[in-house]
Structure 1
Amino acid sequence: MFAAAIFDMDGLLIDSERPIMAAWIEAARTLDIELSHSQYLQVVGLATVESELILASLLGGAEAYRHAVAHVRHRLQLERVDGTPLFPIKPGANEFLTALRERGTRCAVASSSTSGQIQACLGSLGLLHHFSAFAGGDEVVRAKPDPALYRLAAERLDVDPAQCIAFEDSENGAKAALAAGMRVVVVPDLKHPPASIVERAFHVLDSLHDAVAHVPRWFPVPPAQRV
């Protein structure tokens, strides 16, 4: 039915959104500001420039924002010292990627993180070998919800976007994949997608564990590969 799968990374393949949110809430407290979960969720899924503007406003200006950024970076760096991954693999991600690789399904990552961050992060978790192509936010002019990232990933896989399923956790990511002409499976993380996205989604799943059962139907083995 489909020839390729393209994945967002943060909040979908790796559990990065929670520790980052916790670090920002902690940083706000060092400024005597109570940043609530709901306030922080305003920036989830946004491009860096947009999220910077919102956070600076919530924290009281550019100087406070710079202080918070330094705290967040330090806090996340400290999390690395005990030997556990800073951002663990999301439930079902490894199993789903393994099932796709065993069928010969081509996979790519289309993430707003830089291409270097994508490969370093997935490499540290032992997931890099599942992917044939990567498209990072530093390689396109416009971020999600612009479709450029997903189009670039499909181009690097040499697959028509219409033959791809995109897996996303965020509203902007889903919009980007839909605009690129792909079907979208939404796996919500911190924020549930609005009804307008749910209605347009190919599927909405609780986790990538649930995607494993769909592999035979969504990604049939090409006749040339069948024994």
Structure 2
Amino acid sequence: MEIRPITHVLFDMDGLILNTEDLYTVAFQNVVSQYGKEYTFELKLKLMGSQSHETAEIVVSNLDLPITPEEFMKQTEKQFELLFPDTKLMPGVKRLIEHLHKNNVPIGLATSSSLKSYELKVNKHHKELFSLFPYKTMGSSDPEVKRGKPHPDIFLVAASRFPDKPKPEQCLVFEDAPNGVKAARAAGMQVVLVPDPRVDKSLTTEATLVLKSLEDFKPEVFGLPPFDK
């Protein structure tokens, strides 16, 4: 796939910056275990990038749980309060965000999380790093983001918050999920995918570039300033 120079960068958060996808799995399994169900990786792939209410509807429907999506959300929120304060950074992400910030590359956060969920994940250990994002879009609590991924809404809204209003083709998205890749491509943006190793390669073909880790990313490939030697 052709790689073109870009000027602006948007980051997903869960599973890309923070290890929260692992924590979501633990939280959801803790809830569905009460009803004798298993939260599989196949189901997880269906809902990665969805807004909170969409996620709840998908899980309750697919697992035929005897509760409402609202009840599922209440139960998982209790799990999140226990698990999310101790999130960890994914490999290579701190170096990349700090490098782009230092070189005045405009960066924004485009997460499907709500503001409450974001604060749970970030406030204890990662406020300093996330303060480098001047523009943050929280899909599950932002009224402008009508639909979750794989729809393009979150990336179009996030890009519109840069003061110079870049065109979609000027933006590069970093993602960890196939639904996020579909959303970025639908928005007309290039996208670097850093997938869970369990993701089938057939689900990664729409990405502009696929990496095992952000430690492998070379900014100059997209016309950005290279890392210091």
TM-score normalised by structure 2 residue count: 0.80
Is 1:96 aligned to residue 96 of structure 2? yes
Please report how far the alpha carbon of residue 193 of structure 1 lies from its aligned counterpart in structure 2 after TM superposition: 6.1
Q: What's 1:207 paired with? A: 213
Over alpha carbons, which structure has the higher Rg?
A: 1
Between 1:120-129 and 1:107-116, the stretch displaced more is 120-129
Match of 1:132 in 2: 134
- What letter is aligned with 2:161? R
Quick check: which one's helix share is greater?
Answer: 1
What's the CA shift for 1:21? 0.7
Q: CA deviation at 1:55?
A: 1.4
Q: What per-residue deviation string (whole Å, max 9, x for no partner) do you get for residues 6-50 of structure 1?
A: 011111111111111112112222223344444444333334344
1:174 to 168, 178, 181: 181
Rounded Cα–Cα distance in structure 2 between residues aligned with 1:19 and 1:103: 33
Give structure 2 stretches of 5+ with no counterpart: none
Report what 1:19 is aligned to: 23
The structural deviation recorded for 1:67 is 5.5
Superposition deviation, residue 187 in structure 1: 0.8
Pick from 137, 143, 150 the counterpart of residue 145 of structure 1: 150
Within-5 A mapping of 1:15-164: 15-63=19-67, 68-79=72-83, 85-115=85-115, 117-118=117-118, 121-124=121-124, 125=126, 126-137=128-139, 138=142, 139-157=144-162, 158=164, 159-164=166-171
Summarize deviations over 1:85-107 as a string: whole Å, max 9, x none: 43211111111111111211110
Contact 2:56 2:70 in 1 (8 A): no
Q: Distance in 1 between matches of 2:197 and 2:76?
A: 19
Structure 1 residues 77, 180: closer, same or farther in 2, change over 3 A? same
Sort the Cα spacing of 1:73 and 1:57 in 2 relative to 1 into closer, same or farther, 3 A: same
Change (3 A) 1:61 1:15: same
Percentage identity across paired residues of the two chains: 29
